[in-house]
Structure 1
Amino acid sequence: MPASQTPSSPPGASSASLIGDAGWLPPTPARSANLGTFVGVLRPTLLTIIGLVLYLRQGWVVGNAGLLGGLALVLLTFSITGATSLSIAAIATNMRLGAGGAFAMISRALGLEAGGAIGIPLYLAQAMSVAFYMYGFAEGWLYLFPDHDRTLALWAVYVCGFGLSMVSEKLALRSQALVMFGVALALICIWSGIATADELHAPQWIGGFEDAGFWDLFAVFFPAGTGIMVGVGLSGKLREPRRSIPRGILGAWGIALGVYLLTLLWYAVIAAPADLRADPLTSIHRAAWSPGVLIGLMSSCFSAMLGSVLAGPNILAALARERLVPFADTFASDGTQTPRAALMLTGVLVAAAILVGDLNRVAGLITMFFLISYAVINVIVLVEQQLKMISFRPTLPVPKFVPLFGAVASVAVMLVTYPMVGLLALLVVVAIYVFLTRRHLETPWETVRSGMVTAIADWVTKASQRIAGPQYRAWKPELLLPSAPGEAPPVSCALLGALLRPRGGLLLLAVHAESAPRRAPPALAPLLEELRCGGLGARYAAIEAPSLLVGCRSALDVLGGALSRPNILFVDGAGRSEVAIQELVRLARRQDIGFVLHLTDDGAREPPAILKVNLWVRDQSPNWRLGLQLANLDLPLLLGHQLQRNSGGRLRLVSVIRRESDLPAGRHYLRRMRDEARLGAATELWVETGDFATRRRDAPAADVNIFGIPEHVDLAELGALRADIGGICLFVHDSSQESALA
C-alpha cells in the first residue's frame, strides 16, 4: 500500500458499524483486549503520577516556593490535568476508541493529519517520560549503594525495564500489583515521619524562590501530572474503554491530588526550607522508616517507567497502522500483542535521552509535548460543544469553562515556562501537520471538521437569507447543466473549469423518464471527478421527468431557496430542437437566471486551452450610453472575464457597426466598457463598419466566441453564425442578477 494511502474501513464493516458518533467504529475488541478499569487505567495512571516528583522534587519545590507557593503549583498542575481528564472522559464516552489513546481521540475528531501532528510529539513525550523515571530509580539505587556508578545504574534499569516489556506486556502490568503495596508502604512511612520527627517546623507560607522562579518550578513539577496519558494509551487493550477510561483516569487523578496535597503539608512542617532545598532525599531522611520509602520510590519509578514503556509503543503502532510514520509496516501492530518493533525504537530514543544527563531538561521537554496534547484535547471538546452537533452526546458531559480553561491554561503555561522550547514544539507540530496534509490522507471516518463546515454553512445560509436584492459584487457562476440519458459529457472540463474557477459551482442534472440513477453514470463521472480535483464544487443530481424542460423546471423550483442556487442554465445545443431551446430560454427568463447555449462543430474536439476569446457587442445605435446594467451584456462580460482570467488568454471586444458615422461613438463605448468593467488594458478592441452577416468572417479568430441570444431563437441562424466564426460559440442571455460594472 502506498504511503499516502490509508485503510478505509475495517474488514467486514457493515452499515451497522456506523451507529454511534456518525463515523466508522473500530471492530469489537479482540480476546486480548481484556483489561478492566483498575488494571488497565486506574492503577498504571496512579502509579505513574505518584512517582519521582513526589519523592525527589516536591520537597525542593516547597523549599523554594513555600507552603502557599507549593499549593499554587500543585493546584495549577492538577487543574490543567483535571480539565484535560474531564475532556478525555467526555470524548471517551462519546465515541468508541480503538488503539492509540490520545492519538485515537484527536484523529477521530480532527482527522489523521491533526492526529499525526499531535500523536508523534505525544509518543516522543512518553519516551522522554521513560528516561525521567529511570533517573529517579537510579537516584534511589545510589542512595542504597553510593559506591555504584550512576551510569551503570541507569543502563541496568534500562535493560530490565525494556527486557520485561519485550518478554510480556501482561507480565509488566501484573508487576504493578506488587508496586502498589510498595507505594502504600512508602506513603505511610513518609506521613508517619511527623510522629517520629525530633521537631516540627512552622511552615514558610511564601518562599523566596532562591533556586528557581515560579514558572521554572512549575516546569519541573508539572511532569507529576502527565501520568494521565498512560491509562489512555492502553485504550486498545481495554474491554470497555468507554467506561474504563473516565472512571480510571478521574479516579487516579482524584487520589493522586489528595496524596500530593497531604505530602505538601508534610514537607512544609517536617524540615526547614533551606534543608528542603539542600536535600533532595528529604522524604527518605525524615520518614518514619527510610527503607520503606526507598522501596516505594524505586518500585514506583520502575512501575511508572513500565507504564510509559507500554503506552508509548502502542501510540507509535497506532500511528503506523494509519500509515503516518515511515516504515509503517514494521511498526504496525494489530493491537492484540506487544508492538515489539515500536518498543525497540522507543528504547533507542530513551537511550538518547539518558545521554542528555540532566533530569530538569528532560522534564522541560516532557512539559512542552504534553501541554500541546492537552491543549488540543480540550479544544476538541470545546469545539464540539460550541457546534452543538447532535452526534456529540457524551454520557459524562462537562461545563464549557472546563475545556476552555484547560486549553487556555495549557497554551499560557507553554508561553511562560519555556517560550522558545514551546515555540519550537509548536513549529514541529505545524510542520508535521503540513507534511501530512500534502500527502492527501483519506480519513475513513467523519470528523469535527465536517461538523465545523456544516455549522459555518448553516450560519452563512441563515445570514444570506437576511440579505435582500441582487448581490452584484458577490456574484459567482453557479451552472445548472442538464443532460439526457445516453449523452456523453456535453462540455469539456477545460471550458467548464475556465468558466467556474475559483469559486463557481456546477450541478450536473441527469433527466430520466424513469428510474433515475442515484450515482453519476460512467460517461459523466470522469467530468465531475476532474472538476472536483480542480477544487470546484461539482455535484450530480438525477430527476425523473418526461422531458428536459420539465426536469429543469422542477430542479430550479426546488433549488430556488438554496444557498448556492443555480444562476445560469447552461445547455448544450447538440441534438436539441429549436422548440426545446426556445422553451429553455423562456424558463431561464421566468426564473430570472442567465442562459448559455453551447454550440460547436459536431464531433470536433474542443481545444485543451482557451487562449483567445472574442466577446461580440451588437450595434448600440443610437443609444451609446453605459448604465449599471447593460443590455444583455453583463453576463457575457462576466463570462468573458472568467475565461480570460482563468485561462491566461486574451480577451477581445468585437463589434460591427452599420453606419460609419457611428464608428467613433462605438469605439468610445467599447473603451468605456473595458475601463468601467475593469477588464484590463490588455483587452483588445476590434470595431469595423458594414453588414454583420458579411463582416463577421473578417474578425480575428478565437477559441471561444460569446454572443447575445435573441428572445426568439432561430437555431438555423445561430448554426450558420457558428459555421462562419468557427470554434466554440456561447450564446448568452442576461438576468437581473448580474452587473459587470458593479
Structure 2
Amino acid sequence: MLLLGIYFPSVTGIMAGSNRSGDLTNPQKSIPMGTILAITMTSLVYLSSPLLFAAICDGSVMRDKFGESYGGILLVAAFAWPHFWVILIGSCLSTIGAGLQSLTGAPRLLQAIAQDNVMPFLDVFKVITKRGEPLRAQLLCYGIAQLGILIASIDYLTPLITMFFLMCYGFVNLATMLNGFLKEPSWRPRFRFYHWFLSFVGLCLCIALMFISSWYYTIVAWALAFAIYKYIEFRGASKEWGDATRGLQMSTAKEAILKLGNKPIHTKNWRPQILVYLPLDENFQARHDRLLDLVYQLKAGHGLTLVASILEGDIIDRRNDMIAAKAHLSDLIQEHRIKGLAEVLVASTIDEGMKNMAQCAGLGNLRHNTLMVSYPEDWRVDCKSSGSKLSKFISTLRAAQACDIAMLVPKGIDSFPLSKGNQMIGNVDVWCIVHDGGLLLLTSYLLMRNRVWRKCHLRIFVVATEEDDIVNLKKDMTKFLYDLRINASVEVVAMSTADISAYVAQRTASIEQRRALLMQMKISTVEARCDPQLIVDQHRKPSSADINPADIVKSNCSIDSHKLLPAISATSTESSDQSPDHATNVTNTSSSDSASKEDTKPSNLKPDTESNDKPISNHSHHCTVSFATGSNVAVSESDKSTNPKENDANSELNRGINEFTFSPSNPLTKLVQKAAREAGSKEEHLLNKAHPGRITRTQRRLHCAVRLNELLRTHSSESDLVIVNMPGPSRTLGSEYYYMDYIETLTDGLPRILLVRGTGREVITAFSE
C-alpha cells in the first residue's frame, strides 16, 4: 500500500495544462485535448513498465528493495542501453522538470486564488512583478519544497502528496458530477463525451485510493480541507462564483417545497413562521429593533423568519431606496443572529403594502402563519387622519385576520430585554382568556427555552366564568400541561361573561372548528380530552355541548345576554320584518338568580325566531335585536325594559353594536359620523343623529376592560412578562378608536406585555407520534 502512495505522484502531470490555463491562447480547446493526450501517454508508459520488467527480470530480484543483489544500482539502469548513465541522467532531468513544472504551476495557482480574494489572509501573494511573475508565491512554494527536502525520506513525503492530488481529482469529479446531474442552465461544456455517473465513479475511486494509501494521512488531509472551507464560509468571499453545491441546495429546496405541497400542516409539525414588520425612518434606520431581539428569543420554533419593511411610493422612483433598505435589514438580521431573510416592499400606502405582504409572503407551506408588529404607543396622535398610526395598525390586524395569520403584538417593546442582556428571574404569566389553538402556550414555551427567560417561572391563568367548576377545571388543566410536558403552575380566575365579552365571539366561533379538526385527525375520546378548550367547556355550566352548532355557524358569536346586554330589548315589528338574509338567531342559556326572572314570559316574538321543535326553558328566551351589520341576535327576555319607548330606543341603539362590542354607539365623536357617512351607512348615521346623548354602551365596554385590568394588575403587576389574548378588531367602520381604547385600558399599568391572537387552529399537542 505504501508503494501505491510512492508511485502515484509520478502520474500527476495530467493537470499541468489546467494549472496554466491563464497563459493559454484558447484554453477551451487546448485543455480537453491536452489532458486526454497526457492521460493516454502517461497510462501507456506506466502500465507497460511493469509488464516489460516482468518479461526480463526474475521476481526475487524485483522484490529486492535496496538492490543489494545487483550491487545497489538502479535495476532499470542495469538494463539500459548503451550505458546505465543514460537512465541516471534521464531520471535526474525528469525529476528537475517535474520540480520546475510544480514550481511554476503552483505559484500561479496560489496567486490566482489570492487575486480572487477567496481567502483574505492570502492577499499578500497576489502581487506580481513587471514581467508578470508571482514572485512572492514562488518564494512560498520554494520554502515548502525545502521543508519537504529536509524530511530526507521520500517514503514519508510522497503519501502526503498523494492525498492532495487525489483530493484535487476527487473535487474535479464532484463538481462535474453535480453540474451534470443537476443540469444547471449555466453548465454548457464544449466537450460533450461525458456522463455524470462516470464522474461519480472517479470520485469513489479517489476516496478509495486515499484510504488504501494511508488512512491517517487521509483524515489529516480532509481535516485541512474542511478547515479551509469553513474559513472561507465564515469570512465570506468577495466574489460569488456560483458553486455546484449552491445549485444542489436550490434543487433540494425546490423538491422539498413541492413535496410539502399545499396540504395543511399537521399540529405536530406546526411551527411559527414569523413575518416581522420592521418600520424604517427616512435614513433607513429601524425604529423598533428590539423586535428582532424578541424574534431571536423565539428561535426554538425553528421556523422561517422574514423581516420586512414597506416604503411608500413607486417602485420605479424608489428602486435604489429599496436596495439600500434591504441591505440594512440584512445587516440587522446578521447583527441579531437571526436565521431569516430580509424583504422590502414598495407600495402606494403602508396599509396596501401590509395587505400585499400578508397575502403573498412565503411559498407553499413555507408561507408565514404569524405576523409580529409593535404596538403603536402614540396612536392617539392625529388619530383622525387616514394615514395615522391608528389606522395603519387596525388595517394590519384586519389584513392578518382575513388571511388567517396569527398576531404577536408586543406592547412596550423598548422595555423588552436584549438577547445579549441579563437573564430574567421573575414570572412569565400567561392569561388564557380564550383558547386560541394553543398559540399562547406555545409562545411561552418557546420563550422559556431561551437563555433570557430560562430562569423565569411560568404561570398559567385560566379565565373561567362564575358558574364553572373551578376545582376540577384547575385539576384537569394541570394534567393537560403535564401531558404537554410544560412545567408551569395553574391558577383559575373566575369572571363574569360580561367582563370577557370582547372574547366571547372568538371563543364560540372556534368550537366547531376544534371539533371538526379533532374529527379530521380521527382523535379518540381519550385523546380528545387533551384539547384545552374542551377541558374548559367540560366544566362550564352550561357546557358547549348545549349550544346548537347551527346557531354557532349562523352567528359566529355567543353572548350571555343576561350579563352582557342588560339594557337591550326586543326589536320593533319593523326590524323583525327584515329579509332572511339579514336575520340571525342565537339561543342563549343563562342561569337565573331570582324567581322573578324564572317567571318572565317571552312576548312580541315571531314564530320563525324560535328553534325548530325545541322547547324553550324558563331560563332561555328568544328575542331579536338588530346589529349594525343587519343581523339579529337573540337576547334574554328578562333584560327587557318595562318602558316600551325605552325598549324602542335601546333597540335602535343596539344597531350600532358589533359582535366584539367595539362599534361606536356614541355620536359625540365626529370621526364616527364621518366614517359612517363615507361608508354609506345611512341607517347608522340617522340613528346617531336621533340619539345624541347615549354613551352608556361605551362606558360598559370600558368597565369590562377595567375589570380585566384589575385582575391582571392584581396577579401580574410584578411579573417580567405578561402574555394575554388580544381580541380581534371589528369590521365595523368607525370602531377603531374604541378598540384601541379597550386595549389601552386592558393593559394599563403593565410595562411589558405580549398580545397574542391566534387563528383558532390547533398548534400544540400532547402527542409526539
TM-score w.r.t. the length of structure 1 is 0.62
Which protein is richer in helix relative to its size? 1
2:46 pairs with 1:260: yes
Task: Tell me how far apart the structure 1 counterparts of residues 51 and 96 of structure 2 sit (CA, whole Å).
Answer: 26
Match of 1:505 in 2: 305
Q: Structure 1 618/370 Cα, relative in aligned 2: closer, same or farther at 3 Å?
A: closer
Asked if residue 390 in structure 1 is aligned to residue 185 in structure 2, the reply is: yes
Q: Deviations over 1:160-183 (max 9, x none)?
A: xxxxxxxxxxxxxxxxxxxxxxxx
Counterpart of 1:68 in structure 2 is none
Is residue 220 of structure 2 the alignment partner of residue 424 of structure 1? yes
Mean CA deviation greater in 502-511 or 656-665: 656-665
Match of 1:593 in 2: 405
Distance 1:434-1:540 versus aligned 2 partners, 3 A rule: closer
1:234-253 to 2 correspondence within 5 Å? 234-253=20-39
The 3-state SS of whatever aligns with 1:542 is strand
The Cα of 1:490 is off from its aligned counterpart by 4.3
**Aligned equivalent of 1:174:** none
- Counterpart position of 1:225: 11
Q: Is the 8 A contact 1:472 1:738 kept in 2?
A: yes
Q: Where does 1:6-405 land on structure 2 (aligned, <5 Å)?
A: 215-277=1-63, 278=67, 281-290=74-83, 292-321=86-115, 328-334=122-128, 337-397=132-192, 398-405=194-201
2:502 is aligned to none
**Structure 2 residue aligned with 1:635:** 439
Question: How far off its partner does 1:530 sit?
Answer: 2.5
Change (3 A) 1:688 1:716: same
Asked whether the 8 Å contact 1:505–1:536 carries over to 2, the reply is yes
TM-score by length of 2: 0.60
State percent identity of aligned pairs.
Answer: 23
2:244 is the alignment partner of 1:448: yes
8 Å Cα contact 1:480/1:507 also seen in 2: yes
Q: Matches of 1:617 and 1:384 in 2, distance apart?
A: 55
Whether 2:288 is the aligned partner of 1:480: answer no
Q: Report the Cα offset of residue 712 of structure 1.
A: 4.3
The equivalent of 1:617 in structure 2 is 431
Q: CA deviation at 1:322?
A: 5.4
Q: Tell me the residue number matched to 1:187.
A: none
Match of 2:481 in 1: 674
- Cα distance in 2 for residues equivalent to 1:253 and 1:237: 21
Q: Shift of residue 424 of structure 1?
A: 3.0
Mapped pair 1:699 → 2:715: yes
Q: Distance in 1 between matches of 2:367 and 2:10?
A: 57
How far apart, in 2, do the equivalents of 1:618 and 1:231 lie? 72
Tell me the distance in 2 between the aligned counterparts of 1:525 and 1:436. Answer: 21
Q: Give the alignment's Cα RMSD to 1 decimal.
A: 3.4
CA distance in 1, matches of 2:452, 2:279: 33
Q: Could you tell me which amino acid in structure 2 is paired with residue 259 of structure 1? A: V
Relative distance call for 1:441 and 1:646 in structure 2 (3 A) is farther
Range that drifts further, 533-542 or 260-269: 260-269
- Distance (Å, rounded) in 1 between the aligned partners of 2:143 and 2:313: 67
Kindly provide the amino acid, as one letter, of the partner of residue 740 in structure 2: L
Which of 654, 658, 666 is 2:461 aligned to? 654
Q: Deviations over 1:75-99 (max 9, x none)?
A: xxxxxxxxxxxxxxxxxxxxxxxxx
Displacement of 1:464: 0.5
Amino acid at match of 2:751: G
Offset at 1:730? Answer: 1.7
Specify the SS of the correspondent of 1:308: helix
Native 8 Å contact 1:477 1:500 kept in 2: no
Contact 2:406 2:759 in 1 (8 A): yes
| Contact kept? 1:505, 1:537, Cα under 8 Å | yes
Of 194, 202, 205, the residue aligned with 1:409 is 205
**Equivalents in 1 of 2:47, 2:114: separation in Å?**
40
Does residue 536 (structure 1) correspond to residue 339 (structure 2)? The answer is: yes
Superposition deviation, residue 442 in structure 1: 4.9
Q: Please state whether the residue corresponding to 2:345 is helix, strand or coil.
A: strand
Distance 1:238 1:378 in 2: 23
Give CA-to-partner distance per residue, 1:698-733, whole Å, 9 cap, x none. Answer: 123334322212234521010112223222342423
Equivalents in 1 of 2:60, 2:198: separation in Å? 38
Q: Distance in 1 between matches of 2:206 and 2:269?
A: 41
Kept after mapping to 1: 8 A contact 2:279/2:287:
no
Q: Aligned in 2, Cα 1:530/1:646: closer, same or farther, shift over 3 Å?
A: farther
CA contact 2:180–2:195 (8 Å) conserved in 1:
no
Q: Please give the residue correspondences for 1:443-592 in structure 2 after superposition, counting only pairs within 5 Å.
A: 443-465=239-261, 468-482=263-277, 486=281, 489-490=287-288, 492=290, 493-501=292-300, 502-510=302-310, 512-515=312-315, 517-518=318-319, 520=322, 526-533=328-335, 534-546=337-349, 548=351, 550-559=352-361, 561-574=363-376, 575=379, 581-592=393-404
What is the CA deviation profile of residues 58-89 of structure 1, one whole-angstrom value per residue up to 9, with x for unaligned ones? xxxxxxxxxxxxxxxxxxxxxxxxxxxxxxxx
- In structure 1, what is the Cα distance between the partners aligned to 2:250 and 2:119? 31
Max Rg structure: 2
**2:222 alignment partner AA:** L
Distance 2:230 2:140 in 1: 24
What amino acid sits opposite 2:412 in the alignment?
Answer: T
Deviates more, 1:645-654 or 1:219-228: 645-654
AA matched with 1:593:
I
Deviation at 1:368, TM superposition (A): 2.2
Mark the CA change 1:287 to 1:486 in structure 2 (over 3 Å): closer, same or farther.
closer
Please report how far the alpha carbon of residue 542 of structure 1 lies from its aligned counterpart in structure 2 after TM superposition. 0.6
1:314-335 deviations in Å (ceiling 9; x for gaps): 2333444456779735433349
**Matching residue of 1:664:** 471
Corresponding letter in the other structure for 1:452 = L
CA positional deviation for 1:561: 4.9
In 2: Cα distance, 1:584 partner to 1:325 partner: 46
- Give the 3-state SS of the residue equivalent to 1:723 in structure 2: coil
Shift of 1:578: 6.0
Segments of structure 2 that go 5 or more residues without pairing to the other structure are 380-387, 496-706, 731-738
Q: CA deviation at 1:347?
A: 2.8
The answer as to 2:734 corresponding to 1:716 is: no
1:97-122 C-alpha deviation (Å, 9 max, x unpaired):
xxxxxxxxxxxxxxxxxxxxxxxxxx
Corresponding letter in the other structure for 2:481? R
* 3-state SS in 2 of match to 1:541: strand
How many Å separate the matches in 2 of 1:509 and 1:527? 8
C-alpha contact (below 8 Å) 2:437/2:761 kept by paired residues:
no
Distance in 1, matches of 2:332 and 2:281, equals 20
